[in-house]
Structure 1
Amino acid sequence: MSYSYPQSASAEVYRPARRDPYADFSNTHNRLLNSLPSRLQQRVAELQARWISLNLNGVENCRSRKELTAWLWRIFKGIFTITNGLVIIWFFTLCWGERAVFQESLEKCAWENWEKWPPDATPHHVAFIADPQLVDPHTYPGRPWPLSTLTVKFTDQYLRRSFSSIQRNLGPDSVLFLGDLFDGGREWATEHSSSPEKRYQKYKDSFWKKEYRRFVKIFSDQWNEGDSHSGNPRGRRMIASLPGNHDLGFGTGVQLPVRDRFQTYFGKSNRVDVIGNHTFVSVDTVSLSAMDQPDPETGSSGSGDGHPPNERIWKEPEDFLNNMSVHRGKAEMEELRMMRNQSEGHLFDHQVVEISQPTLHRRLEPAVVGFPAILLTHVPLYRKPAMPCGPLRERYPPSSDGVEEDERNALTIAGGYQYQNVLTQTISKDLVTKAGPNLIHVYSGDDHDYCEVTHHEFSGSPKEITVKSLSWAMGVRRPGFLLTSLWNPVDPATGKPTRQMSAGATLQNHLCLLPDQLFIFIRYGLLFGLTLAILLARAAILTLYFPPGDLSTSILPLSEIRPPLDVHTTKTPSSSTSSSTFPSPGGLASRAVNAPPRYIKAYDGAYDDVDNAKWKPRTPTPQTIRGEFIVSVRYVATVVFAWYFFLIWRW
């Protein structure tokens, strides 16, 4: 048997507090709503109010849903407008012109896309940069301001962006510049020299140092972006000490103070570097070329004091070539010691001699190991006139395939003030002979366009590549640079190659083209003209068919304009019509019957019935079209320029 007892009022049963399942959602919703801009908060609140007021039953509620649909449609039309569409088009166009084209160009040049080494190879990656020639007053002397300033800004931006893309996408182990770092570097005065041209004598040494800081900002400051790509335990290096004729002058035009300043900041111009088990020989050929020119002081082939002509200019590079075996042997032996993890030391020849004879400790001369040699010169080597440069030359493609002479496709054998297109035959032969043995390749600059030839007239028939300019202001539509992959496995003990490869098979080259900046500007210009045309047509159509003040043009009308009594008069309802016109107490009147008509103000000051009006063409005035056009242009320009400056500021 069971019993039930009434529960005492004093007995309290514990029940946990029930948590409101909507509390967290409400708090989160309120926080998100408060974080929005004030105008957007107002629109969201109005949308919520309209939605809550809806009832799912009844004829009146069906009309409310229609009003909501119309209101949402107005919002949709307010967002997807012609001006916003133009902004979106500009958004993607600027992304393409300022980002995507550079990314696409560098992706085509990825090392794995063109290298052909054995699977176990560990090549050394090199990028050759030629003729950046920072734009300065010497480049376009007659160009007025602000066009001259904009030219400097845009060329610097292109160089910085290109070099930064090279580092971030390719990360070469070594970057070698091939001269003409500046355009007017030879003209800017030092403490002991000035420009031979009067118009440039006002530019002092401080101006050259300012240009040097520009070079550092464009290239050196972006150098560390490629550290993540390189796996070379020896680290990475950038060498920019090879001068061009725009850096120093050419031949007898070279001034020693200008050359000394250049070498003080960039290093020795005549040097030997072992890179990727290849010996790179850099020679200041713009100074060496003074050997073949008459002395400017005497006008003859002699200086008049018993010294060879122009000896003060060409002696340094000539002495370097005459002692090439010493320079090469020292650099190659030092490289082998580094490969063996040995510290630098001095080797002596120890001999047993009679006690009566003097003991002389003679340091051994370093011997050339025999790495493949590569010659670097700013000015290309001599070649026969009309010798074709190949199909990769941009300005003058070959007229036909397989021809031995093609004057348009070849380098011009000519010279002028402070320049010479190729070296003389005598100096070229001297370079090839003394830079060896095992000279397999030559890299040069100066011409701004690509040229590839094989010098059968010289011993060993070395191949020469003239590298394109990196700047889009040097007469080529598609600037570029050269990638070189080096692989020469050697025995650290002897320096001999561990794999037998033919001459020239230890390196591979690939021309990498950069975006056509002029084409990008042309596309910007076409889109700019199209934008103005569309906005002008839009202003005319809106002014003609959609007069200002139309309630349908606003998303949320804030007030309803009613006509004054003197324009639309209404009769005072009589007692006989009160029951039909006004609701009786407790009764409901139909909105369709009793709602007063809505009016908008027209241009002539009268009021039109919105519900019954039809769209009629208006007669626009130039002021209204101009005002609407200016407002739309200002809106598009503000957004577009903000996005553009963000792109160029971030990169």
Structure 2
Amino acid sequence: MVKPRWTHSKVMLIADPQMTDDKSYERHWLIMALTKFYSALYMKRNYRHLNYQLKPTDTIILGDLMDNGREWQDDGFFDKEVQRFHTIFPPNNHLHYMAGNHDIGFGQRINATRVDRFEHYFGPTFYTFEKHGFLFVVLDTVSLCSNESAIPLLDNIPQHPRTLLFTHIPLYRAASQTCGPYRRQSRSNWILNEAGYQYQNLVPEHLSNLILDKVKPLLVFSGDDHDYCKVIHRDNVPEMTLPTFSMAQGVRFPGLMVLDLAQEGLSTHLCWLPDQVELFIQYGYLLIFTLVCLFPWRSGTNQPSLSKEELGITQPTTSVGLKKHVLSSLRYVACVAITTYIFCLCMF
């Protein structure tokens, strides 16, 4: 019997990129355009850098690919949004997708047309695959919560001693179960069992128990909440809810998770991304500091270098002349800074 050849593998898990679009926020068109641009740029650069540094063998995006994929009725426009999404996350055979409620809706508002459209571009919403000695079960809990007639599909999941379950909606847990020390939001340290327009925070209790019984996972990974949360289900099964990958979804520190898979088992690594809002604030401080330094510098360089006799008849510098010199310096600084910034945007 030939023993399987094991290799050390990394799987990158990304949740809720929710690519910003024109319907995401009610803002001035210019602010909206800047939000779309910088939130996409933030994800694109981080994703590219992570792939370069980690070289993951596979990547799984745990739902809510777009912020309003369920709302777009124009298929032509949706196609353009998909192409924009692929500029952020270039498609390949090692990139796996999951449907979220922002992609296909939730409850009675799930539209079969939206589901078909999602599957056309991103593949099935419920599937399994085996890699690195583990069985990956990608479960469409968004549809299961809305249509329990699909529950028999759980019987088709093959039994495997190393099963990893991926669900967009976190599984049910008691209100008393806290999320642990790594949760970033100060408003609450738990995920409340609430529901609203096209969303539900947790899979219903009876369905969660059924999923755990049928799948028998070693670990559960979920998204939707936008912040990190770790709880322990019955039979000592851990569930880790991943933070959003986007800077525009209400958390200052986006993040992701990396799985290290080996013959001996697996380990998880929670990774936090930079606080882009804080970086913008620092840019503002730097601008103010530049202006403060620039004003006295121009004041000093504006003084004439003349003899005592000439100084006696020279008119003092007017405030208008000083302002012109300062504005001239500002134009110079702005020209250099903007040119450098555009160059960096294009090159990096």
Answer whether TM exceeds 0.5 for this pair: yes
Match of 2:31 among 121, 124, 147: 147
Q: Which residues in structure 2 correspond to 1:404-443 (within 5 Å)?
A: 408-436=188-216, 439-443=217-221
TM-score by length of 2: 0.93
Q: Deviations over 1:590-637 (max 9, x none)?
A: xxxxxxxxxxxxxxxxxx6x4876699963323211210111011111
1:469 aligned to 2:278? no
Contact 2:10 2:54 in 1 (8 A): no
Residue matched to 2:63: 179
Residue matched to 1:125: 10
Residue matched to 1:516: 275
Contact 1:281 1:376 in 2 (8 A): yes
Equivalent position amino acid for 1:162 in 2:
N
Equivalent position amino acid for 2:90 in 1:
S
Contact 2:6 2:132 in 1 (8 A): no
Cα distance in 2 between the residues matched to 1:615 and 1:424? 88
How has the CA–CA distance of structure 1 residues 542 and 615 changed in structure 2, closer, same or farther, with 3 Å as cutoff? Answer: farther
SS of the aligned residue for 1:220 comes to coil
Residue matched to 1:206: 76
Quick check: 620-629 or 148-157, which moved more? 620-629
SS of the aligned residue for 2:289 comes to helix
Residue matched to 1:217: 87
Cα distance in 2 between the residues matched to 1:424 and 1:541? 71
1:237 aligned to 2:94? yes
Cα distance in 1 between the residues matched to 2:268 and 2:131? 15
Contact 2:21 2:67 in 1 (8 A): yes
Contact 1:277 1:371 in 2 (8 A): no
Quick check: 267-276 or 617-626, which moved more? 617-626
How has the CA–CA distance of structure 1 residues 630 and 382 changed in structure 2, closer, same or farther, with 3 Å as cutoff? Answer: same
Residue matched to 1:257: 113
Contact 1:279 1:373 in 2 (8 A): yes
Match of 2:284 among 515, 522, 525: 525
SS of the aligned residue for 1:182 comes to coil
State the shift of 1:530 in Å: 1.4
SS of the aligned residue for 2:34 comes to helix
Residue matched to 1:446: 224
SS of the aligned residue for 1:507 comes to strand
Equivalent position amino acid for 1:281 in 2:
V
Contact 1:130 1:468 in 2 (8 A): yes
How has the CA–CA distance of structure 1 residues 614 and 621 changed in structure 2, closer, same or farther, with 3 Å as cutoff? Answer: closer
Equivalent position amino acid for 1:272 in 2:
T
1:644 aligned to 2:341? yes
Contact 2:177 2:190 in 1 (8 A): yes
How many pairs were matched up? 344
Cα distance in 1 between the residues matched to 2:292 and 2:312? 25
**% identical aligned pairs:** 36
Cα distance in 2 between the residues matched to 1:463 and 1:507? 13
Cα distance in 2 between the residues matched to 1:447 and 1:615? 73
TM-score by length of 1: 0.51
Cα distance in 1 between the residues matched to 2:223 and 2:315? 66
State the shift of 1:396 in Å: 2.6
SS of the aligned residue for 2:220 comes to strand
What RMSD in Å do the two structures reach over aligned CA positions?
A: 2.1
1:395 aligned to 2:185? yes
Q: Which residues in structure 2 correspond to 1:163-562 (within 5 Å)?
A: 163-189=47-73, 204-220=74-90, 237-240=94-97, 242-291=98-147, 314-315=148-149, 317-324=150-157, 328=158, 368=159, 370-396=160-186, 408-436=188-216, 439-456=217-234, 460-488=235-263, 506-543=265-302, 546-547=303-304, 550=305
State the shift of 1:377 in Å: 0.3
Q: Deviations over 1:340-374 (max 9, x none)?
A: xxxxxxxxxxxxxxxxxxxxxxxxxxxx4x34111
Cα distance in 2 between the residues matched to 1:290 and 1:173? 33
Equivalent position amino acid for 2:118 in 1:
F
Equivalent position amino acid for 2:151 in 1:
E
SS of the aligned residue for 2:236 comes to coil
Contact 1:132 1:470 in 2 (8 A): yes
Residue matched to 1:564: none
Contact 2:191 2:201 in 1 (8 A): yes
Contact 1:138 1:184 in 2 (8 A): yes
SS of the aligned residue for 1:127 comes to strand
**Structure of higher RCO (CA pairs closer than 8 Å, 6+ residues apart):** 2
Equivalent position amino acid for 1:155 in 2:
S
Structure of greater Rg: 1
